[in-house]
Structure 1
Amino acid sequence: MEKFTVHTGTAVPLRRSDVDTDQIIPARFCVSSSRTGHADALFADWRDDPSFVLNRPAHRGATVLVAGNDFGTGSSREYAVWALQDYGFRAVIAPRYGDIFRGNSLLNGLLTVVVPQETVDRLWELTEADPAVGVTVDLERLEVRCAGLTQPFELDEAVRARLLSGDDLISATLRHEAAIAAYERDRRPALPVTR
């Protein structure tokens, strides 16, 4: 997993709330087990509309998504996270997320930042007025910054440490491989053995 420390990029102002995972990536596109190759399916049903924000040339190459309340509700599909990442998004900023989506995001290295609705409204205004304005998501300082706006956010410290180091759950566990091996070697012989 790629480390996340501080990221600055342009943003897509997605002025929609209650975006479920089937809107993020419709089920008909969830057919391969690969984590890649899903960028074209991201918001596929909405991208048929030429005025949809992702179709606007000014927002091409954006790496931060600023969404409305209850982003990622619905099913537990990891494809929603994979599609966002495959498109190029490194962070999503919203007031509230579907719990399973947020968990999947943080496990897969997509930073989901929770900020007040007022901050989202201001970010929408700033990024619509100037699509080239940079939005900084600073995991080291736990801040979102944009054009004079500074908004602190919170994140579980264990999750934050994992994202900062670039560890997924497996690599984080493997950091303790020697201690695990020592425990298995030294444990009482009467206990059950796993093979």
Structure 2
Amino acid sequence: MEKFTVLEGVAAPMRTVNIDTDMIIPKNYLKTIKRTGLGKGLFAEMRYNEDGSDNPDFVLNKPAYQKASILVAGDNFGCGSSREHAPWALLDFGIRCVISTSFADIFYNNSFKNGILPIKVLPEDLEKLFDDADRGANATLTIDLENQQIRGPDGGMIHFDIDPFRKHCLLNGLDDIGLTLEKQDKIDAYEAKLSERSWS
């Protein structure tokens, strides 16, 4: 998993509340277990017209936001079914951070496990971030995980809280497999002891 330290990028505003996982990645894209290639299906029902052409009114199709790496989103982001394809699709598109006032628990947990930083902020702080994001590519946000800060284009700063263990995992690029491999020496020693017992 790629480490998350400091992210500086364009933030796309999505003011819609209750964006569920079916909106993030519709069910017809769930036939694969690969984590790559899902970016094309991200927000597909809003992003594309019925004929498959881009919907010019959808935020991620607008030139200023086509390379967005941060989403500033309405309340209760990621609700609905517990599909891990949702963070996979966001990551494959290039989104590394989602900021909202609240997240569905399963989506929140899945994001950390896939290298995406979900940040919870107060409603008044979210409005400030929406204002920043509305400026498009002319204004970028900086997400500093080590110092737990969101820095705006005009020098404003918002502090955010994060569980220390999850912070450690993101800073070091550790998913569940990476965490297990940190214990490789102990695992090898345990297996060696088992092997010795089986031969004795």
Q: TM-score, normalised by structure 2?
A: 0.89
Aligned-pair distance for 1:106?
Answer: 0.3
Alpha-carbon separation, structure 2, partners of 1:98 and 1:160: 19
Alpha-carbon separation, structure 1, partners of 2:31 and 2:189: 42
The residue number in structure 2 matching 1:5 is: 5
Q: Comparing both structures, which one devotes a greater share of its residues to helix?
A: 2
Alpha-carbon separation, structure 2, partners of 1:138 and 1:163: 12
The residue number in structure 1 matching 2:125 is: 119
CA RMSD for the aligned pairs? 1.7
Question: Which of 118, 133, 156 lines up with 2:163 in the alignment?
Answer: 156
Q: Does residue 67 of structure 2 align to residue 61 of structure 1?
A: yes
Q: Deviations over 1:135-181 (max 9, x none)?
A: 01111001111122211111111111111011111111111111233
Aligned length: 190
CA contact (8 A) 2:68 2:94 kept: yes
Alpha-carbon separation, structure 1, partners of 2:189 and 2:63: 56
Q: Does residue 97 of structure 2 align to residue 70 of structure 1?
A: no
1:179-194 equivalence runs, <5 A: 179-186=186-193
Alpha-carbon separation, structure 2, partners of 1:103 and 1:60: 26
Aligned-pair distance for 1:184?
Answer: 4.6
The residue number in structure 2 matching 1:90 is: 96
Letter in 1 for 2:104: G
Letter in 2 for 1:96: S
Look up the SS of the partner of 2:40 in the other structure.
helix
Letter in 2 for 1:94: S
CA contact (8 A) 2:60 2:68 kept: no
The residue number in structure 2 matching 1:21 is: 21
Look up the SS of the partner of 2:90 in the other structure.
helix
Alpha-carbon separation, structure 1, partners of 2:35 and 2:15: 27
Alpha-carbon separation, structure 1, partners of 2:136 and 2:84: 32
* Unmatched runs of 5 consecutive residues or more in structure 2: 50-54
User: Is 70-79 or 175-184 further displaced after alignment?
Assistant: 175-184
* Unmatched runs of 5 consecutive residues or more in structure 1: none
The residue number in structure 1 matching 2:40 is: 40
Q: Deviations over 1:91-130 (max 9, x none)?
A: 1111100100010000010111111111111111122134
Q: Does residue 139 of structure 2 align to residue 133 of structure 1?
A: yes
Look up the SS of the partner of 1:58 in the other structure.
helix
Look up the SS of the partner of 1:170 in the other structure.
helix
CA contact (8 A) 2:2 2:173 kept: yes
Q: Does residue 195 of structure 2 align to residue 175 of structure 1?
A: no
CA contact (8 A) 2:10 2:136 kept: no
Letter in 1 for 2:93: Y
Alpha-carbon separation, structure 2, partners of 1:99 and 1:51: 30
Letter in 1 for 2:118: T
The residue number in structure 1 matching 2:52 is: none
